[in-house]
Structure 1
Amino acid sequence: MTHESPVTIRLKQSSEQTVGVIKRVFGLMPARFIVNVIDALDLEANPRNSRLGSVTDAIEASIANDDLNQGQKLFPFKTKGILLATSQYEQLDRGRYSLIFDDRSIEGVLDGGHNMLAIGLYILNQAEIAAGKTTPRKRDVNLWADFKRVWKEARQDIDSYLQRIASDEGRAELEQDGIGTLNFLIPTEMLIPADQNDAECLETFRSSLLEICDARNNNAQLTAGTKGNKEGLFDAFRSLFEEKEPEFARNISWKTNDGGTIESRNLIALAWIPLSLTTWVKGEDAVVDPPKATAIYSGKGQCLDKYLTLMRDPRISTANTNGTEKELHDQQVLSALKVAVDIPRAFDLIYQSFPKYYNRPGGSYGKISAVKSMQHKSGEYTTPFFGLDSEQPVPDGFIYPLVYGLRACMEYDSDKNEVRWRVNPYKFVQSKDFAKAAEDYCGVIRQSEYDPQKVGKGKFSYSSAETFVKVAMYHYHE
């Protein structure tokens, strides 16, 4: 039994096509009905989050031409409009449909997110002008999430605006003041099951939506990471971060334009440090060859592709009950991801102390050209993941091999079929034993002519770091 409220829309001049288990309805939606859609939906089903820019500006200009001018209405011919999908609906009279979007991960707005944002912002602006208020500043409304927040805050003004439009007198007053009255039509395509009472039809319909959504968004050069997120291949990793580091988790960007400051592909690259210890990347059961150690620094795209290949294997992940997303069920991979969740904080702790590691044997870290080029007048620096205070900036190429060296602190337990830390990583990276390993590793920087690119892309840097950490592990006692 659903807990979602129905959304009513109306389509003019509609027509239908049915192919297999999918019925497609084409029509023109009067603009006022999209208010219901915006109220009810976010863009969960759309693989990208919409962002304001030149595209949305052009859409708004086209809307204004139709709404404010009495001439020919061209907006329906300038845009594909929006694509909706739902497995539960009721066809009403006068071209109206009652829609229930129960599984928001696959049902809702599959395509046309930028149109939704532009149309919604136009309606919001007209409502605020009608209320005698200032329109939202674009710097405050950049992403869909920003818009939706402002939309909710202005919902009373939007209701008043719609009420005025509904009366001849109110509409005439708005037009006289040069305010739009939503006198335009939105091309709308709706995908629904051919027979919503047939369980097999419903299952096939739902399982098809992800593929349709993916294909519709290919023209937008959808990134591999965004597609992987849509398939649910990051869900387990995301949940582990949310459980252990909830504040940090809110800053991770899992799909295009979702506002996060931490790119998920950086975390995926680091995750290969423990994932490389699983049996799924070596031996008879190998699903994929692990990326080279240097790839965690200079081949993050390769790390992501191999992660997706691993996670798509049916022995690792299987389709959920709706058949639309994959769920991780392999405990060995899950254990490796649990280890990976600890790496960003360990990375930042190493970052903070890195200049001290270099200087301890008599070095002059601040005089390295690559470091000097990163310095600025404020003299304030923070670590890349958790934003911890740091005395000096650290080039990525210098630190990634040393972080990779933490692989020596991990092990695969064949009895329990899991990857785990051999020691507490946070205590270890703050120990004198690790400090000695880091000092020894810094010799690689000198041998590489202080060039972060040579260090970060050099195979020797990674093997040396792992060897030094192994020695530190031999002496370390918690």
Structure 2
Amino acid sequence: MTPKIIIRFAIVNEQTDGPIKRIIGFVPARNLFPLFDGLDLEANPRSAKVGSVTADILETLTETPKLFHFKSKGVLLGASAYSSLERNRYELEFGDPSAEGILDGGHNMLAIGIHILSYVATESEIKQIKLWEDLRDAWERNRSAVEEIKNDLDFLVPVELLVPTDPEDYDSLITFEASLLEICAARNNNAQLTQETKSHQKGLYLEIKNRLPKKVADRIEWKTNEWESDDTRPIKARDVIALAWIPLNRLQEAGLLPGSISVAPQNIYRNKGECSKQFERLMERDDVTNPTDGARRELHNVAVISAFDVLAGIPALYDKIYAEFPAAYNAVGGRFGGNSIVKMFDPLKRKTANNKNDYVATQPYTHFTGIPVKHRYPDGLIMPLVYGLKGIMKIVDGRVAWAEDPTEFLDRNLKDIASAYRLVLDMARFDPQKLAKNQASHEFAVGEFEKALFKEQARELIN
């Protein structure tokens, strides 16, 4: 159902320029209730999060509420359909909640909501509000109570509406919708909007998100500030986007990636921002995606789609290599835990150890799927091996795919690959920076995976 709300201004003015009409003015806080009732921050590139910004806003609301509309930039709304009603009222209809709604001012809305709830909710309940979603839950629980104090909320909030000049004119409407995302990004520039957040708003990550295992996708911070957890850290979107370049580079080598766009293997570890930029450059090509609603795009390139199908399994393979490499290294005569950069998890040994710094006090887990492991060490040590997975990818009918089941392949071959890779580790003296930032170590790992695959295929032909 398309969200539809009515906003009533105390003071309002309209400005029109081309396909965009701007409606600006001051709205009494009590007239913002429809926003709290019916909207979220899906259209805002950043999710609102309690912090120093909201603390400053709350201080203003508490100390000088009569000056709030002069001290705050307020809230920016965008809607593709609207009607001008009597008494400074506007009915707004948000056709695409991912691109329309609250475009900027999420922290203002969060602080205003907390301020209103502070009149009716318990102190404990207020302290539990960290994100916009927490506010929405508390708002729903206390909705009848805030309605009773509604008339006391007379402080003004600056509100700006962006609507199409002529909602009935198709060309004008398309131009307006395409402009919203650019306006939204520009308004958020002072908040250092990340490359990944911008790409997410354009829909460039949707196909990846849909293919990843849910337990991985749910832990990814697709846009700034949307993650809040006391017990686990989020996976950054750029971590997954960087890994996408393993199958994408395989396509590029086969001449199947539009524009011959690629990234250096070492950048998957050392320069993930560059990986994100190159990803957006690829995904905004018309031979990869088509524009749909406004600035959002839809993937249609079958080669790139196949790369995302392969990517879906790489986070789990990454964690499998991280978890199992120490044992594989030890199995060929090494002593992985004997290196100072590696820390062991062994609570019993830690109690009696002369040097407790050799051990970690808390259970370490792998980055993507949360597998408990016995060793904690920098991911740079195994990053070339993760890139080595490219060596067991094949090209079939213009698509990239696994030549063998990658999990079973690692079960059979990781020990032999570790034996060869040990030379690289020893030459780098277990320096994760030297390993992960060196293109030669990545290409060496790819070669070892290819060699192991070739040996298996040769044995199958003989047998």
Q: Confirm or deny a common fold (TM above 0.5).
A: yes
- Specify which of 91, 97, 102 is matched with residue 104 of structure 1: 97
Q: Secondary structure at the match of 2:119?
A: helix
Q: Distance in 1 between matches of 2:195 and 2:254?
A: 24
Q: Secondary structure at the match of 1:98?
A: strand
> Are the equivalent residues in 2 in contact too, given 1:375–1:393 (CA < 8 A)?
no
Q: Distance in 2 between matches of 1:288 and 1:77?
A: 51
**How many Å apart are 1:18 and its aligned residue?**
0.4
Note closer, same or farther for the CA distance 1:284–1:405 as it changes in structure 2 (3 Å cut). Answer: closer
**How many Å apart are 1:275 and its aligned residue?**
0.2
Q: Secondary structure at the match of 1:233?
A: coil
Give the letter aligned to residue 155 of structure 1.
R
Q: Secondary structure at the match of 2:416?
A: helix
Asked if 1:342 is matched to 2:341, the reply is: no
Give the letter aligned to residue 409 of structure 2.
F
Q: Distance in 1 between matches of 2:12 and 2:456?
A: 73
Asked if 1:250 is matched to 2:238, the reply is: no
Q: Distance in 2 between matches of 1:285 and 1:161?
A: 60
Give the letter aligned to residue 439 of structure 2.
K
Q: Percent of counterpart pairs with the same letter?
A: 40
Note closer, same or farther for the CA distance 1:153–1:375 as it changes in structure 2 (3 Å cut). Answer: farther
Q: Secondary structure at the match of 2:342?
A: helix
Q: Distance in 1 between matches of 2:250 and 2:256?
A: 14
Give the letter aligned to residue 149 of structure 1.
D
2:373 corresponds to which residue? 390
> Are the equivalent residues in 1 in contact too, given 2:47–2:223 (CA < 8 A)?
yes
Q: Within 5 Å, which residues of 2 pair with 1:11-410?
A: 11-67=9-65, 73-128=66-121, 133-138=122-127, 140-162=128-150, 165=151, 181-241=152-212, 245-259=213-227, 261-279=234-252, 283=255, 286-320=258-292, 322-372=293-343, 376-378=359-361, 380-410=363-393
**How many Å apart are 1:476 and its aligned residue?**
3.2
Q: Distance in 2 between matches of 1:199 and 1:345?
A: 46
Q: Distance in 1 between matches of 2:450 and 2:260?
A: 26
**How many Å apart are 1:282 and its aligned residue?**
6.9
Aligned residues: 441
> Are the equivalent residues in 2 in contact too, given 1:354–1:394 (CA < 8 A)?
no
> Are the equivalent residues in 1 in contact too, given 2:256–2:303 (CA < 8 A)?
no
Output the aligned Cα RMSD: 1.9
Q: Secondary structure at the match of 1:287?
A: helix
Q: Distance in 1 between matches of 2:328 and 2:288?
A: 40
**How many Å apart are 1:378 and its aligned residue?**
2.8
Note closer, same or farther for the CA distance 1:160–1:377 as it changes in structure 2 (3 Å cut). Answer: same
Q: Distance in 2 between matches of 1:379 and 1:443?
A: 31
Note closer, same or farther for the CA distance 1:275–1:375 as it changes in structure 2 (3 Å cut). Answer: farther
Q: Distance in 2 between matches of 1:323 and 1:97?
A: 23
Q: Within 5 Å, which residues of 2 pair with 1:426-445?
A: 426-431=407-412, 433-445=413-425
Q: Distance in 2 between matches of 1:60 and 1:434?
A: 56
**How many Å apart are 1:155 and its aligned residue?**
2.2
**How many Å apart are 1:137 and its aligned residue?**
4.4
**How many Å apart are 1:219 and its aligned residue?**
1.7
> Are the equivalent residues in 1 in contact too, given 2:219–2:235 (CA < 8 A)?
yes
**How many Å apart are 1:82 and its aligned residue?**
0.4
Give the letter aligned to residue 436 of structure 2.
G
**How many Å apart are 1:109 and its aligned residue?**
0.7
1:168 corresponds to which residue? none
Per-residue CA deviation, residues 289-316 of structure 1 (Å, 9 max, x unaligned), is 4111111111111111111111111111
Per-residue CA deviation, residues 273-297 of structure 1 (Å, 9 max, x unaligned), is 1000224x77597525411111111
Q: Distance in 1 between matches of 2:157 and 2:262?
A: 48
Q: Secondary structure at the match of 1:369?
A: coil
Give the letter aligned to residue 405 of structure 2.
N
Unaligned segments of structure 2, at least 5 residues: 229-233, 345-356
Per-residue CA deviation, residues 383-431 of structure 1 (Å, 9 max, x unaligned), is 1110011111132111110111111110122xx2111010111111122
**How many Å apart are 1:361 and its aligned residue?**
2.0
Give the letter aligned to residue 222 of structure 2.
W
Q: Distance in 2 between matches of 1:107 and 1:90?
A: 16
Q: Secondary structure at the match of 2:108?
A: helix
> Are the equivalent residues in 2 in contact too, given 1:437–1:468 (CA < 8 A)?
yes
**How many Å apart are 1:375 and its aligned residue?**
5.7
- Specify which of 432, 443, 454 is matched with residue 463 of structure 1: 443
> Are the equivalent residues in 1 in contact too, given 2:258–2:287 (CA < 8 A)?
no
Asked if 1:412 is matched to 2:395, the reply is: yes
**How many Å apart are 1:16 and its aligned residue?**
0.7
Unaligned segments of structure 1, at least 5 residues: 68-72, 166-180
1:450 corresponds to which residue? 430
> Are the equivalent residues in 2 in contact too, given 1:46–1:111 (CA < 8 A)?
yes
Give the letter aligned to residue 55 of structure 1.
V
Note closer, same or farther for the CA distance 1:254–1:161 as it changes in structure 2 (3 Å cut). Answer: same
Q: Secondary structure at the match of 2:157?
A: strand
1:178 corresponds to which residue? none
**How many Å apart are 1:4 and its aligned residue?**
2.6
Q: Secondary structure at the match of 1:74?
A: helix
